[in-house]
């Protein structure tokens, strides 16, 4: 005898703790993001705090991102040279490396480093403020802690990550130029003429746009993990870890969605 098809899936989800926790976390982060949009467009605007956070986010991340980008461009050039020479296409190395970096590798790797460096810092900072009751003190003194603490940091990550990606792409291309000159002498002018001769608007624009979503996602998840932290000092470490793990995971998920959307228009 066939069992009846359940019409309400909620009782069955509750029986699986992993699914229940996942959907619960998604709903809470969604409500947290909705509150962000509500508070972000409502005065007063904390412009001085936004400028401070933007400077700290960029200054904190740029050295590590620059070093990683240079090595990324250098290694990709060195690794691709043997196979390109087998097909007699060594002259295509600059354009191939540039397209790979600008379209996919640069934004994703930079966002993952950003999540590890900045996301963990935001999560730990907000968790410390929650544990030491600084956020509660703001509420008592009449300051909106969500606007002052969360909105400014999410906007700063959303703005600064595209800037850092642009710098990382440029540094990676210089790393590629250095890698090419390890085997043969190529002028900087010839290298970049080869790079920009093959790049198209459809290569640059979608890659640049998705970096805003990367920055927003990392900021929201990091702030959510820290703002809702608990359990004393143990919660600080958990918030920092959650910001890195889920922030990095969401970067790949957002990238997958962005690639699917871009493929529909190309």
pLDDT tens digits, one per residue of 27-77: 888 898 898 998 888 888 888 888 999 998 888 788 899 999 999 999 998
12 lies in some domain:
no
Its pTM stands at: 0.85
Q: What is the pLDDT of residues 216-250, one digit of tens each?
A: 999 999 999 988 887 777 888 888 888 898 999 99
Let me know how many helices (H) and strands (E) the chain has, helices first. Answer: 12, 0
Quick check: is 151 in a domain? yes
Q: What would the mean pLDDT of 79-100 be, rounded to a whole number?
A: 83
Let me know if residue 137 belongs to a domain: yes
Judge whether 51 lies within some domain.
no
In sequence order, what are the residues at sequence separation of 6 or more whose Cβ sits closer than 8 angstroms to the Cβ of residue 201?
none
Tokens 């710098």, residue? 167
- Provide the domain count of the chain: 1
Q: Does 4 reside within a domain?
A: no
- Whether 29 is in a domain gets the answer no
10 Å Cβ neighbour count for 183? 13
Tell me if 5 is assigned to some domain.
no
What range defines the domain where residue 112 resides?
61-264
pLDDT at 81: 84
Average pLDDT, the chain: 84
- Whether residue 1 lies inside any domain: the answer is no
At 3, the pLDDT band (50, 70, 90 cuts) reads low
Average pLDDT estimate for 159-175: 93
pLDDT tens-place string over residues 136-156: 888 888 788 888 899 999 999
């Amino acid at each position: 005898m066939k069992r009846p098809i359940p019409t309400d899936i909620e009782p069955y989800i509750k029986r699986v703790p992993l699914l229940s926790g996942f959907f619960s976390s998604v709903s809470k982060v969604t409500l947290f993001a909705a509150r962000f949009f509500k508070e972000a467009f409502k005065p007063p605007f904390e412009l001085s705090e936004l400028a401070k956070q933007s400077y700290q986010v960029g200054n904190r991340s740029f050295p590590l991102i620059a070093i990683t980008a240079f090595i990324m461009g250098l290694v990709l050039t060195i690794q691709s040279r043997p196979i390109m020479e087998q097909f007699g296409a060594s002259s295509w190395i600059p354009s191939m490396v540039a397209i790979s970096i600008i379209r996919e590798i640069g934004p994703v790797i930079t966002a993952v480093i950003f999540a590890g460096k900045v996301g963990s810092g935001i999560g730990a900072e907000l968790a410390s403020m929650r544990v030491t009751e600084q956020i509660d003190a703001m509420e008592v003194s009449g300051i909106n802690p969500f606007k002052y603490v969360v909105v400014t940091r999410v906007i700063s990550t959303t703005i600064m990550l595209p800037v850092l990606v642009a710098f990382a792409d440029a540094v990676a291309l210089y790393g590629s130029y250095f890698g090419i000159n390890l085997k043969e002498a190529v002028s900087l002018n010839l290298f970049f003429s080869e790079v920009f001769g093959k790049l198209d608007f459809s290569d640059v624009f979608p890659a640049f746009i998705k970096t805003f979503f990367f920055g927003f996602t990392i900021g929201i998840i990091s702030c959510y993990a820290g703002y809702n932290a608990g359990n004393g000092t143990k919660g600080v470490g958990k918030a920092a870890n959650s910001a890195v793990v889920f922030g990095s995971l969401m970067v790949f998920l957002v990238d997958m969605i962005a690639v699917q959307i871009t493929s529909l228009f190309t």
